[in-house]
Amino acid sequence: MRLRLSDIARQAGVSEATVSRVLNDKPGVGQQTRQSVLTALDVLGYERPQALRKHAIGLIGLVVPELENPIFPLYAQTISNVLAGSGYTPVLCTQTPGGVSEDEFVEMLRERAVAGIIFVSGLHADTTASTARYQELKDKRLPVAFVTGHPEGVEAASFSCDDTVAARIAVDHLAGLGHTRIGLVSGPDRYWPVRRKISGYRAAMQGVGPELIELTLFGEQGGHAAATRLIDRGATAVVCGSDMMALGAIRAAEERGLTVPQGFSVVGYDDSPLIAHTNPPLTTVRQPVRDIATAAARALLDEIAGQPTPSSEYLFRPELVVRGSTGAAPRED
């Protein structure tokens, strides 16, 4: 894309002369104005000039789970863009089963003198894990921020989707379609997001029908196994803890000879990239990934800059996205 000074100036609200000075790394421009021009470059999709790319302020660690679930790469991409837009270089640390642990990644990041660390769905989301590791980082004045869950007893900025509300609106949608035997498929209940989904599911199911809960491993195979058990228990619809689990549930229904949504309804969670193009298109609960990721990155940047930041968890409201995998409850013979 050809770089046009007029477009950048209009986006940043400055003169073309100011844009030129920033792009040529000339003095005489305030830091806030300089940042506005650089942000305009990013928003308009221009690459920063090579001279400006060298001016990285420092490194920031970004610790994320495995990237097989497409929602985590979206978190990583959004956070990285915000950090890069402020002159920081993100250091992505991806956990894999049997690979480098979170604590080992943190030690490596500290050795590289990172300015801060953002944790996405890490040990802080596990109720059985000690939060002392995070308090130690705070005691050493290393700025941290958390996505999906909050480490109890640690005063730090945390940002999550409201999983309690997510489960409730999914059940309400299915109940509105006439379903009474609605199941819940999710991962192990030692994780805060799972516990919150269970809480929301149970509250929504009061007066609707029996509780049908199957906890399993995260992922498509776990969703398939749990949904198979729920179908055998008479469920006509299922709320899943992720879109990947929902795809497994659809496969389980088809293997049982049930057509989705005529014979069995499925609701996912996340609204992962490309999930609208499945067959049938997946009804899901969208978590506002970009809003959550941006808030976490900005909170960390504020803490690094010495500005006040939240010291507790902020919950973002999810949104039901109705597509083609949910329908009216099948008639009983």
Reported as a single tens digit per residue, the pLDDT across 56-76 is 468 999 999 887 788 999 999
The 10s digit of each residue's pLDDT in 200-234 is 999 999 999 999 999 999 999 999 999 999 999 99
pLDDT of residue 99: 83
Picking from 43-52, 107-116, 271-280, which range would have the lowest pLDDT averaged per residue? Answer: 43-52
In whole angstroms, give the CA distance from residue 258 to residue 215.
22
Give the model's pLDDT for residue 67: 77
H or E element that contains 118: strand 116-120
Does residue 95 or residue 64 have the better pLDDT? 64
What is the CATH classification number for the domain harbouring 63?
A: 3.40.50.2300
Question: Do 168 and 282 fall into the same domain?
Answer: yes
> 95 falls in which pLDDT band (50, 70, 90)?
confident
pLDDT tens by residue, 164-181: 999 999 999 999 999 999
> How far apart are the C-alpha atoms of 52 and 235, rounded to whole Å?
58
pLDDT at 210: 95
Q: Under DSSP, is residue 158 helix (H, G, I), strand (E, B) or coil?
A: strand
Q: What is the mean pLDDT of the chain?
A: 91
- pLDDT band at 2; cut points 50, 70, 90: low
Q: Which of 28-32, 111-115, 301-305 has the lowest mean pLDDT?
A: 28-32
Same domain, 29 and 95: no
**pLDDT at position 50:** 64
Residue-wise pLDDT tens digits, 25-59: 788 888 778 878 877 776 777 776 766 654 446 89
Phi, psi at 37, each rounded to 5°: -65, -45
> What order do you get walking across the sheet with 58-64 strand by strand?
88-94, 58-64, 116-120, 144-147, 157-161, 313-316
Query: φ and ψ at 317, to 5 degrees?
Result: -80, 130
How many domains are contained in the chain?
Answer: 3
- So what's the pLDDT on residue 39? 75
Three-state secondary structure call for residue 332: coil
Domain identity same for 91 and 136:
yes
Please give the model's pTM, rounded to 2 decimal places: 0.81
d(CA 321, CA 318): 10
Q: What is the domain range of residue 222?
A: 163-286
Letter for the amino acid at 270?
D
Crossing angle for the helix pair 243-255 and 220-232, nearest 10 degrees? 50
Residues 246 and 154 in one domain: no
Q: How far from 115 is each of 60, 142, 226, 256, CA to CA, in Å?
A: 5, 7, 42, 53
Contacts of 310 (CB under 8 A, 6+ apart): 157, 158, 299
Residues 193, 144 share a domain: no
pLDDT on residue 36: 80
pLDDT at 55: 44
Query: In terms of domains, do 46 and 137 share one?
Result: no
DSSP annotation of 46 reads P
User: Bigger pLDDT: 50 or 188?
Assistant: 188
pLDDT of 185 > 50? The answer is yes
Q: Is residue 329 part of a domain?
A: no
Q: Cα–chain-centroid distance for residue 85?
A: 20
What integer is the mean pLDDT of 311-328?
Answer: 95
Distance CA 97, CA 316 (A): 29
Which residue is associated with the tokens 């001279």?
51
262 within some domain: yes
Residues 187 and 268 in one domain: yes
pLDDT at 106 > cutoff 60:
yes
286 φ, ψ (degrees, to nearest 5) = -85, 125
pLDDT cut 90: percent of the chain above it: 72
* H-helix segments, 64-147: 71-85, 102-111, 132-139
